[in-house]
Amino acid sequence: MPRLLLSAPVFRHFAICVAFSLPLLSASGQSAASCGDGVINPGEQCDDGNGNDLDGCTSLCRSGATCDVVARPGADAFAVDASSGRCYSRFDAEVTTFQAASAACAAQHGHLASVTDVNEQSIVANLVTGSDVYWIGAIDDANSTDESFTWLTGEPWAFTAFAPGQPDDDVVLGGGADCLALTSGGWVDTSCVFAGYVTGRFCEFEPSIFLDGFES
C-alpha cells in the first residue's frame, strides 16, 4: 500500500486540525465545557446534569458511591469527595468498641474512614459537631510511643491531624491507647476496647463503577 507523505507545513496544519477537533479535558479528565449537561461525553464517567455529589454521580462527572440515608441506613450526616467519588458517613450515638464500629462499617460494604490527606481531613472535620468523638480506621503500629499508626486499608501513613498533646497513649490511665478517633480539635488515641468515650464512627465507602457509571 503506498504511504501518504506530508510535507512539514501540511503536517502542522493537519495536527492543528486534529487538536482542535478533540474535547478540552480538565485536570480530573472530564470535558470541562460539557460536565453537567446531562450527556456522558468523552472523559466523563457519568453526567446526571445536577450538582448533587451524593447521588452516585459527582459534580465533576465522576462515578461515586451513593451517599444518603437510603444507601447508608442509620447514618446522620454525609459528604462525598467530588474528585474521587468516596462517600463519608457519620454515625452518631454509637458508644461502642473500635472492633464493633469497624464491623458495622463492613456490614454496609465500607470501612472505618482512612484520613490520608488534608482534603479528606477537611471533609470529615466539617461533619464533626460539638464534643462528639468518632472512630476512624487506624490502629497503633508496633511502637506505641510515636505518632505512627496503621490504616486498616493498608494505605500509607503519610499525613496526621492530631489534636494538641496527642497521641499520648493514655499514659495517665495506664497506657494502651491503640486506636484513633476524631474530635473537633483533631485526632486522639484511645483504648480500642473501652466503650465509654467514643460516641460514634465515620465510615468510608468506595465507589463501585459499572458500565452505566453508577454504583449497584
Left if phi > 0, otherwise alpha if psi is -120 to 50, otherwise beta: which for 115?
beta
> Per-residue pLDDT tens for 162-208?
999 999 998 888 778 999 999 999 999 999 999 999 999 999 999 97
Domain boundaries, the chain: 8-63, 86-205
What whole-number distance in Å separates Cα of residue 216 and Cα of residue 160?
33
Is the Cβ–Cβ distance between 33 and 23 less than 8 Å? yes
Mean pLDDT of the chain: 84
Tell me the mean pLDDT in the region 66-90. Answer: 97
> Per-residue pLDDT tens for 86-136?
999 999 999 999 999 999 999 999 999 999 999 999 999 999 988 999 999
* Percent of the chain residues topping a pLDDT of 90: 72
Domain 86-205 belongs to what architecture? Roll (3.10)
* Percent of the chain residues topping a pLDDT of 70: 81
3-state per-residue secondary structure call for 142-180: CCCCCCCEEECCCCCCCCCCECCCCCCCCHHHCCCCCEE
Helix (H, G, I), strand (E, B), or coil: what is residue 27? coil
Confidence of residue 50 (pLDDT cuts 50, 70, 90): very high
Tell me the mean pLDDT in the region 151-161. Answer: 96
pLDDT over 50 (residue 64): yes
pLDDT over 50 (residue 42): yes
Q: Which of 211, 96, 114, 104 is nearest to 153 (CA)?
A: 114
- Through-space distance between the first and last CA atoms of the chain, rounded to whole angstroms: 49
pLDDT over 80 (residue 2): no
